[in-house]
Amino acid sequence: MMKAKVFRCANCGHIIEVPFGLPKPSSCPKCGSPASLIHRMNPGPPGVGRE
Ligand SMILES: [Zn+2]
């Protein structure tokens, strides 16, 4: 299984998976929201991790 970073667009809820080694997407590929609306999702248990 490949590891990937998971981001979610706060505007449309689109899930964006980015392989490790690639940068955070600069915009949502679905709705075009800027990176400021794209938040990293922690793949671990809820409540763990830092904002
Ligand atoms: Zn979006």
What does the pLDDT read at residue 45?
Answer: 60
CA angle, 41 then 46 then 47, to 5°: 100
Q: How far is the CA of 32 from the centre of ligand 1 (A)?
A: 6
Give the residue carrying structure tokens 């929201």: 33
What does the pLDDT read at residue 3?
Answer: 83
What does the pLDDT read at residue 50?
Answer: 55
Q: How far is the CA of 23 from the centre of ligand 1 (A)?
A: 17
Give dist(CA 39, CA 9) in Å, integer. 6
Q: How far is the CA of 19 from the centre of ligand 1 (A)?
A: 19
Q: How far is the CA of 29 from the centre of ligand 1 (A)?
A: 7
Residue 1 reports pLDDT greater than 70: no
